[in-house]
């Protein structure tokens, strides 16, 4: 089971109400390379991956939920004081008419989240390469969002998340090596 | 948790976040380097430190976890805000 903790993984501060930034950030909430997709991808792959990497997939998948909460916190803080006029000016009137200020799992262009963002091939190497690619794509997305953001407080948290993608990618690469080593050992049976 | 939080709360929280960062990093590292004895030692040392910080925060600000991973005050105080996105 999972146990929730009443604490963010890393502090999230925003300098000012900024719905335009929230519009970009929602890419990491309900987008193809976002935190929800990441969490669901890894936790789903656990059941058929060799035992040696189940722990890693469990732990990274769990950390992704902590990142999802950080992204939600950013979006919530950036939009909570916005007027409908400000939301309209930020280009998220379409979101507002459907959801008011509620969060929704869609990407920056408003496309709803879909399970087709997640691959599960059942082949351990194929799945882990998928995971490495996902981390690199998420890292790149964080960079593009940082490039678009003029909020120094928010950028501090975004840089933290960007660094986590690098760590995850590195750990998945190590997992590939562990599995290759195991596979090669089996030749001598 | 009380509705307005003193500066001290944020300092405690940051301390917990810092220790937890070490623990998350060591967890992922040990998942792929399970034989690293000094990393395991460091992990256990920080796990102990986390318990102490958690206890200190909860004694003043209420439970950080539930399902029995934290004690409850009277009345039940798990649902008391603020929640992480509200601070």
* Three-class SS state of A53: helix
Q: Per-residue pLDDT tens for B11-40? A: 999 999 999 999 999 999 999 999 999 999
pLDDT for the residue numbered A185: 82
Over residues B58-64, mean pLDDT: 96
Is A99 labelled a binding residue?
A: no
The alpha-carbon gap from B39 to the nearest alpha carbon of chain A, in Å, equals: 16
Preceding amide of B82 cis, omega within 30: yes
Report phi then psi at A113, rounded to 5. -60, 140
Partners of residue A85 on adjacent β-strands: none
Catalytic residue positions of A, numbered: 35, 64, 67, 135, 165, 168
CB A98 within 8 A of CB A104: yes
Q: Give all domains of chain A, ordered by start, each with its CATH number.
A: 19-188 (1.20.1260.10)
Q: At what angle do helices A35-45 and A54-79 cross, to 10 degrees?
A: 160
| ipTM exceeds 0.90, yes or no | yes
Closest CB to B17 among A7, A72, A73: A7
CB A120 within 8 A of CB A44: yes
Q: Per-residue pLDDT tens for A11-20? A: 999 999 999 9
Contact A4 B65 (CB under 8 A): yes
Is A106 labelled a binding residue?
A: no
Contact A175 B32 (CB under 8 A): yes
């Amino acid at each position: 089971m999972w146990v929730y903790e009443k604490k963010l993984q890393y502090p999230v501060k925003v300098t000012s109400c900024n719905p335009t930034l929230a519009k970009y950030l929602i890419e990491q909430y309900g987008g193809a390379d976002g935190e929800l997709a990441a969490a669901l991808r890894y936790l789903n792959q656990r059941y058929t991956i060799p035992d040696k990497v189940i722990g890693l997939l469990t732990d990274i998948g769990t950390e992704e939920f902590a990142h999802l909460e950080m992204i939600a916190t950013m979006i919530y803080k950036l939009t909570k004081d916005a007027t409908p006029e400000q939301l309209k000016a930020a280009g998220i009137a379409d979101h507002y008419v459907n959801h008011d200020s509620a969060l929704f799992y869609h990407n920056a262009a408003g496309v709803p989240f879909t399970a087709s963002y997640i691959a599960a091939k059942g082949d351990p190497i194929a799945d882990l390469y998928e995971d490495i690619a996902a981390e690199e794509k998420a890292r790149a997305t964080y960079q593009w969002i940082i490039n678009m953001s003029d909020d120094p407080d928010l950028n501090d948290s975004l840089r933290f998340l960007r660094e986590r993608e690098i760590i995850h990618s590195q750990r998945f690469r190590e997992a590939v090596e562990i599995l290759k080593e195991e596979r090669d050992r089996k030749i001598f049976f | 948790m009380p509705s307005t939080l003193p500066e001290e709360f944020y300092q405690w929280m940051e301390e917990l976040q810092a220790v937890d960062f070490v623990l998350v990093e060591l967890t992922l590292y040990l998942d792929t380097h399970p034989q690293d004895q000094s990393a395991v030692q460091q992990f256990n040392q920080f796990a102990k430190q986390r318990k102490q910080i958690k206890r200190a925060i909860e004694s003043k600000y209420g439970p950080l976890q539930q399902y029995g991973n934290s004690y409850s005050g009277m009345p039940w105080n798990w649902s008391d805000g603020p929640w992480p996105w509200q601070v």
